[in-house]
Structure 1
């Protein structure tokens, strides 16, 4: 199955085009069918190679478990058979393996034999909140307890109320070993808190998400020509020389995160009742800057930029493309009628279709070489369904919010 690309000046926007909508929904179903093979007999999740066979196990990371729960809640909403089995498995694995019964909180990586990485990371904990919120939307019997538990941990251990932001990392027994502060965990905290607000109606989640967004989108982005600094010191000053884990904390700025945070800013604005102010303009500025900086001559988005916007790491990964699709869908849903939004939406899908989507087996190739062929330098196999599944489904649900709640409207 391949995407049939209509001319860019076609009168019908793709979000309203039944053929495009059916195609995206079909890709979502093929992704879910591919990742079904992740589920192990013991209830854990394997990472899969490009053909869908399990890779050697090296500890199941917290973001893998939680993203699988969230993704299969979306799968359940569109009627994917067996989705409940993967949701149940993920919830049990969180409870029985990741949950630290000695010190509280959730361990970053575990396997059948025990703990393989004991760190307590805000990045992982906010994904526990996302999994809990999604599972609660699906009516899972353990979801409310999980949400209450992780909410307490986030509030007591990670939340810096003076700054209105989340601290990043602790040892297993909650000792501070690092002064690092980062944008990535805070960005995903917004995603999780908005999901928690949508399912519970508890305004504290919306308020905290707004504080995080204000720091990055009303203070940092305008001060840096609408690029988002990733790395900060303990007192939340930009640390332009920081370079850490190349997957989670690369040097410079990450334009894919500007796309992601722009979409989340619009979602927050929508959930808050679309108040007067410049939130839509801020979102557009971040999104358009990221696309202008990072789109490469042969297509695809560069992974990182230097602080002034020049390309640093030109490697092309799948997730910035998926976030670009979600960002452009959000701008189109604003109803401003800008032709450039439609053109970008189609351009991103065209690149995904021709380079990232594995039409033969399902799932998306995560990484491309300079010639546009799948390669494994940073990522092994197909490590993740979460980004690409949301790219398929978010454009199809009405409005800017309530993705999990509204995905069920697509099942027919």
Structure 2
């Protein structure tokens, strides 16, 4: 095979062009008073008055990275997200962050506190800290303190899922998704703060959920658990297309975990256990074997049952984004040409089906025939996966993206 695409000047230029297209599209989501709204398929803010913490935090992360990349206007957009994360999305009375607020009424629309949102607050604050944005460092310290006190369970080495507003009641549900995003957030926090405890906690989560629980389930990643961390394999069987808690196993998360395991390996260096890369390769292989083009059309299905049969066959934009990032990371780590082949295949798929050259950004969901649909996701509310897909292949697996950019670690 010829040189890897990420080493070719034209490919890097193409990625950069797509990066600028995405950041221009997302700017329309910025809200007066701070935070980011939900964009429809045409890139206009919807009539929904809610400001979601996860969207605002993800966009703050993206525009912090874009600022470090030298994109004019990205720094103020990151600041707009920070204004909401330190202001109206933050619970001044009890601490932590609301899941969402209503701009129409100026009050919390979702008063529960969940680990998923808090993971992205940490990631946003870590990236904004590296980008030198005002108020980011104290926000990061606050978020790490809240997660350390309320969510992280030292007894299991994992995070609980959710609380009511005053932290008096913790729900029985436990989830792999929020823990996965805490791995990413903890790695970013370790690089931003220099405190290795967050790296150790990220490794502990990965070891429990992947090297033990997933391995014991035939390498089919369970997503939902009881309070005692017993897999609940029938969870949401009657509501299989839930955007955050779908029934079965979510193929895209196999790829996302593969990427994060390689990042952990790079972050730990000589101290990294050998199973990190081995497990990443196994997850990648199973994901393409059971999730790609399994129903007669190219693309990854959203979910599988426990016999590896497709359940929700719609294609989500974030799945090939995570897959191509995993392929790039594994190719760099192992040198295996198979991952370069997948990297190229996945970008060809994204370019043909997902990139919306008319209205901007990427279609967030495709029907099984790869035409745009909206059964699980409405509109285009998020840049996080697509933006990282055009940036992370150019970066080393560690440190985290913002710290790598701060150290000029990008391939130019």
TM-score above 0.5, yes or no: yes
Q: Is this contact kept in 2: 1:193–1:206, CA < 8 A? A: yes
Q: Distance in 1 between matches of 2:187 and 2:141?
A: 15
Aligned match for 1:293, one of 268, 278, 290: 290
2:201 equivalent in structure 1: 208
CA distance in 2, matches of 1:177, 1:12: 52
Matched, 1:355 2:348: no
Superposed counterparts of 1:93-172, under 5 Å: 93-112=84-103, 113-172=106-165
Look up the SS of the partner of 2:101 in the other structure. strand
Equivalenced residue count is: 402
- Alpha-carbon displacement from aligned partner over 1:279-308 (angstroms, at most 9, x marks no partner): 111111011111111102311111011123
Regions of 4+ moved over 6 Å: none
The two structures have a TM-score, normalised by structure 1, of: 0.94
List aligned pairs for 1:327-366, cutoff 5 A: 327-334=326-333, 336-366=334-364
Offset, 1:41: 2.8
Corresponding residue of 1:254: 250
Task: Determine which of 50, 70, 73 is the counterpart of 1:82.
Answer: 73
Where does residue 54 of structure 2 map in the other structure?
Answer: 63
State the TM-score, normalized to the length of structure 2. 0.94
Contact 1:393–1:407 (CA<8 Å) still a contact in 2?
no
Contact 1:260 1:323 in 2 (8 A): yes
2:308 paired residue number: 309
CA distance in 1, matches of 2:267, 2:396: 13
Partner residue in 2 for 1:30: 21
Q: Tell me which residue corresponds to 1:20.
A: 11
| Structure 1 residue 252 displacement after superposition | 0.6
In 1, Cα distance between equivalents of 2:171 and 2:32: 38
Q: Deviations over 1:96-122 (max 9, x none)?
A: 111111111110000222111111001
Query: Does 2:361 correspond to 1:368?
Result: no
Q: By how many angstroms is 1:43 displaced?
A: 2.5
Provide the rounded CA distance (Å) in 1 between the counterparts of 2:195 and 2:129. 14
Deviations 1:44-80 (A, max 9, x none): 3221122211111241111011001100011112211
Partner SS state of residue 87, structure 2: helix
**1: CA distance, partners of 2:143 / 2:179:** 15
